[in-house]
Structure 1
């Protein structure tokens, strides 16, 4: 496999696993189960159930167990928009001169920001989540694949479209027939409807995951290998963030949309680009302050000027797209900025914007693609041109545009037929998402182990990318496919807390609710001569392995890396550069702060779904998910304290301690002297009884009478009963036998395990 990329899909079974292997290393790994399918990218018709001005957010019922979270920055000015588009001939024939070059676009952006006041601070967001920017298209973060190109500061409203050829373009083949998902159940259904089966043709244009960043799992639907930095800068998906910025983006709820520079569309009186007004009481959103990344590139963001209570009301119906799956105790994160990805383009109906993948470096090709898209797109809408569109003929791009517009119009028509909550449009399943987004010309072959899915992929690729059809292979070996390609062993390594480095050092990776901590240790590596060189070598190797593990485990949110302390600043810079270079190949959005003098790195990585570790594991039932237990010695000493606390309250002369066998061994062994001291002090007999079925932390203490006293009490009861009136001779003769049997039973109980009935209500324990 050296020097090649292979897309391996394990679909034989109840779960689907996808691994992109490059040069013998797993670069991408995704997991989806039939019973636990993700919903990122699904489009719903929802109903606002609660508006929270204090959080500047709302909760929307989309048919899931928990209401979804909608931040004010993700609310389109008219979240209930339902206009279809019309594509009229020549509408954009003269639009090319309006499209600025990359440099002009940045200059216009700088002037626009300078003219705007600083946005007001937003209210508190959902706990542990920071608000995303207002109008960034879901696909604009396509592994950073979209280089924003501002053509016009204002935005256009949605308008009906008649699908006709643009002026000057060659005849476009008729798009494939659109197969519409069957309508979801009635709105009164409490649970979210199941995603209906779809034809492969429609699947090509299902909604983009809100973080079009280069993977089929919503972190990156861009073609494999896309980078987030422009060609002039080092390939890097991250930027060096200032502390204040990192704090704002530290929450895992961010959906990584800082690359959006499209604007919401206002109501126009006409179709001309210069004739734009406001829609209702909604104006354009002000553009927020730009931020500089580590390469001097400004990231543009927009801040909403309206309050959530002005945009949404309880009971209002809205069209939303899931940006982030429910994770832990949190519900899904949603946005009203919709994105629909195709093979070559991503359609954004709410944003007036054209973006070109940064991986397309030739200015002439970028301009050609922008011209084609700008002439065909409905006014006021946006498109992202993906990396796979490079050198693609115009008719294919036009067919993609028409098809995506058809899909959007069908969503709007479906929306008018159903009540909220309802699923309007499901996203692709993992297999076809991976085929669409990862199976590119850079991939040597696609291998899958299921015949039915193999046939489905063939049909899909034949329609979308016929030149790749010969590179699809059905695996028919006896050995499981992931074993045959060496993937299974690497996945087992990724599930371990301790990860060994080739040099002999190791990493400790601990995932908590709010952050992930990574500790770098020297382990068995002792170096050669210089301590500083030894530490620098371990840290440099660890930096690459850490990024690999983050990608493989799909870890997101706040990440703290504790490198071994380095004295020389140049060595810290060397390790930081190694970390940056490794992150440059990561399609997920990351923000990184420089290594501190303590050797710490603070960074964030966009999280859309649960990490692989959390998906494949569950909290330990024995330790209750804590990862540790009270030691046997601690439990033994707690028993001693419990005896001191409760012994005076027991009238019985015998105390029985039931506990785990290992704890009992300590009580009866090395700490026997303490047990004898307590027996002498309280004048009681203490019996320790091991219970194999007890948890290590479990014990109980209760009192009971000793055997001799119980026998005397029975004799007293027998004598009193013998003097009772009306007792016959036979009863009197049988009494000694009953007493003997009772005494025998009492002796057995004292010698064996205690019966709870002997100490009703008298037990103490844990």
Structure 2
């Protein structure tokens, strides 16, 4: 499937959209003051060790301490098994966390997950530095992994080539381990000269990190990952990419120089956009993003999805809406669910939803219909770079999925909880607030004896007291033996009020 990548740059924000067949599928946003941390290497200090959770909190200089689990701690004396998958780290049978780290210890760590909500960043001591063709593992023992996306019959030959190139490189002074490499997908047809050049670049980068760790105090940043535009060129451009267009002449020149040095195959697809319309207007991307902020997603057939993102999981409800179909009821449901499966796969990518996802498709009586919807969903998810595991339909007809989460969702990045409802999505009715005020006045009257009580509240609550609830207000005033005055505050939210003792 052909894809185009559009990059909209401004001094404060960079946005990259991936468009497939004229429809936006992914949006990546990086703000200069809120740049992501994944890939950054820090020299941190162990703040707390929690044996019960087999984890530790590490101070890396951020607002919240970062989290390190025992499974992400590199251990020199244990054997390891590598899963041959790009970006995966060695899997270990770990010792207890309290035998590996201690409070006050200085530790070199790398961020593998950005802070999410109230949670700090997640760390690993399996340090890796990504290059154009390979990922370097400075602490490894010389093993070589190959991306699973490279055909099986080519992996052994590629691994042998990299092994031979490693043997030709001079040993680095002061190191007892040569380090390992993971061969990336785009190295499949790379010549030996390019592979060796990438290895030398990665070794130099690792040496700079080690030198900084020896000279800098903790906590400090030792290595920062590439910016969004550079990561687009490194990670998102493949054989399906037709063009990469950017709307800034200055950034185009910088990206061109970067590409010529590290990704020469991607440079030929890089172009400067000089049209009069904003680049995102070419595919109505801003409108699509605005719709991705809402709960409802309309389907072409007349059905719709309702998506709710919570702290624990994301729920997706499928409804037929106005779609009545042309055949029988089962076919109508099946067609709606098929279209919903396509829309769900796209929305997961566009909104960057991660964690546990529960989809409630319309109940299907026939097993072949359920299998067809499941097959269509898995087919659509194959186009997603982020791994998604899909289960089978449960006895209740629910479909469970998990999608790897490494950064905030689009909604969490662009939005914040409503100050009126505090993220609940609802507010108390004016009548509920009015009755709460009456109870508060009665509570205050039992403790204090002012000359008068004054109620400050939103206009809609005051209007209720002046009309439908005037009798209850008068009865309360007579019961406590004190006058009660009203004052409307236009800046108050519907739930906000104050009872002033005069």
Please give the TM-score of this superposition, normalised by the length of structure 1: 0.60
1:321 paired residue number: 110
2:368 counterpart residue number: 570
- Alpha-carbon spacing, 1:33–1:646, altered in 2? closer, same or farther (3 Å): closer
Q: Specify which structure has the bigger relative contact order, considering alpha-carbon pairs within 8 angstroms and separated by 6 or more residues.
A: 1
Q: Judging changes above 3 Å, is the alpha-carbon distance between structure 1 residues 532 and 414 closer, same or farther for their aligned structure 2 residues?
A: same
Structure 1's 68 and 658: CA in aligned 2 closer, same or farther, altered over 3 A?
closer
Counterpart selection for 1:480 from 278, 289, 297: 278
Match of 2:69 among 68, 71, 76: 71
* 2:405 paired with 1:607: yes
**CA–CA separation in structure 2 for the residues paired with 1:702 and 1:341:** 62
**Counterpart of 1:580?**
378
| In 2: Cα distance, 1:438 partner to 1:327 partner | 23
Deviations 1:538-586 (A, max 9, x none): 2221122112111111111122222222233332222222221122222
Contact 1:654–1:685 (8 Å) recurs in 2: yes
Equivalent-residue separation in structure 2 for 1:640 and 1:34 (angstroms): 49
Alignment of 1:155-554 (within 5 A): 212=87, 257=88, 260=89, 262=90, 301-304=91-94, 306-351=95-140, 352-361=142-151, 363=153, 365-377=154-166, 381-554=179-352
468 and 691 in structure 1: CA distance in 2 versus 1, 3 angstrom threshold: closer
Q: Structure 1, residues 585-611: CA drift from partner, whole Å, max 9, x if none?
A: 222122222111322122211111111
**Cα distance, 1:37 vs structure 2:** 0.9
Change (3 A) 1:672 1:585: same
Contact preservation (8 Å) 2:233, 2:266: no
Structure 1 residues 430, 655: CA separation in 2 closer, same or farther (over 3 Å shift)? Answer: closer
SS at match of 1:35: helix
Asked if the contact 2:39/2:112 (under 8 Å) is kept, the reply is yes
Residue 46 of structure 1 contacts residue 318 of structure 1 at CA under 8 Å; is this kept in 2?
yes
1:20 aligns with 2:15: no
For structure 1, list consecutive stretches of 5 or more residues without a partner in the other structure: 80-111, 113-133, 143-211, 213-256, 263-300, 704-758, 760-766
TM-superposed CA distance for 1:448, in Å, is 0.6
SS at match of 1:534: helix
For 1:395 and 1:312, locate their aligned partners in 2 and report how far apart those are by CA, in whole Å: 41
Distance 1:371 1:67 in 2: 42
Query: After superposition, what is the alpha-carbon deviation per residue over 1:38-97, rounded to whole angstroms, capped at 9, x for unaligned?
Result: 111011222222222111112222222222211111111149xxxxxxxxxxxxxxxxxx
Distance in 1, Cα, partners of 2:354 & 2:73: 24
SS at match of 2:229: helix
* Offset at residue 442 of structure 1 (A): 2.7
User: Whole-Å Cα distance in 1 between the matches of residues 105 and 76 of structure 2?
Assistant: 11
Q: Secondary structure at the match of 1:587?
A: coil
Report which of the two structures shows the higher radius of gyration computed on alpha carbons: 1
CA distance in 1, matches of 2:149, 2:76: 34
What CA distance in whole angstroms lies between the structure 2 residues aligned with 1:47 and 1:671?
61
Deviation string 1:593-636 (CA, Å, 9 cap, x unpaired) is: 21113221222111111111111111222223332211112112
| Structure 2 counterpart of 1:693 | 491
Which whole-Å CA distance do the structure 1 matches of 2:284 and 2:250 have between them?
24
Partner of 1:559: 357
User: Measured at CA, do residues 661 and 74 of structure 1 come closer, stay the same or move farther in structure 2, by a change above 3 Å?
Assistant: same
* TM-score normalised by L of structure 2: 0.89
- Would the alpha carbon gap of residues 437 and 688 (structure 1) be closer, same or farther in structure 2, given more than 3 Å must change? same
* Structure 1 residues 533 and 47: CA distance shift in structure 2, 3 A: same
Alpha-carbon distance change, 660 to 314 in structure 1, aligned in 2, over 3 angstroms: closer
* Separation (CA, whole Å) in 2 of partners of 1:141 and 1:346: 11
User: Could you say what secondary structure the match of 1:444 adopts?
Assistant: strand
* In structure 2, C-alpha distance between the alignment counterparts of 1:700 and 1:473, rounded to whole Å: 59
Q: Is the 8 A contact 1:441 1:468 kept in 2?
A: no
Instruction: Tell me the distance in 1 between the aligned counterparts of 2:62 and 2:455.
Output: 49
SS at match of 1:502: coil
For the pair 1:11 / 2:22, whether they are aligned, the reply is no
- Cα separation, 2, equivalents of 1:358 and 1:700: 63
Q: How far off is 1:644 after superposition?
A: 5.2
**For 1:331 and 1:440, how far apart are their aligned partners in 2?**
33
Equivalent residue in structure 1 for 2:436, among 620, 625, 638: 638
Contact 1:135 1:337 in 2 (8 A): no
Secondary structure of 1:338's counterpart equals coil
* Mapping for residues 584-599 of structure 1, pairs under 5 Å: 584-599=382-397
The structure-2 alpha-carbon separation of the partners of 1:702 and 1:41, relative to structure 1 and needing over 3 Å to count, comes to closer
CA distance in 2, matches of 1:346, 1:611: 26
**Cα distance in 2 for residues equivalent to 1:679 and 1:314:** 62
SS in 1 for 2:244: strand
Aligned residue runs from structure 1 range 619-638, under 5 A: 619-638=417-436
**CA deviation digits over 1:295-320, x for unaligned, max 9?**
xxxxxx5432x111111122222221
Distance 1:594 1:380 in 2: 44
8 Å CA contact 1:53–1:309 kept in 2: the answer is: yes
In structure 2, the CA distance between the partners of 1:653 and 1:376, relative to structure 1 (3 Å rule), is: closer
Q: Secondary structure at the match of 1:692?
A: coil
**Alpha-carbon separation, structure 1, partners of 2:39 and 2:451:** 69
RMSD over aligned Cα, in angstroms? 2.7
Cα drift, residue 503 of structure 1: 1.3
1:660-675 paired onto structure 2 within 5 Å: 660-675=458-473
Once residues 265 and 486 of structure 2 are traced to their aligned partners in structure 1, the CA distance between those partners, rounded to angstroms, is: 77
Shift in Å, 1:337: 0.7
| Unpaired runs of at least 5, structure 2 | 168-176
Preserved contact between residue 44 and residue 421 of structure 1 (Cα < 8 Å):
yes
- With over 3 angstroms needed to count, the CA separation of the structure-2 counterparts of 1:684 and 1:70, relative to structure 1, is closer
Structure 2 CA distance for partners of 1:470 and 1:664, relative to 1, 3 Å: same
Shift of 1:428: 0.7
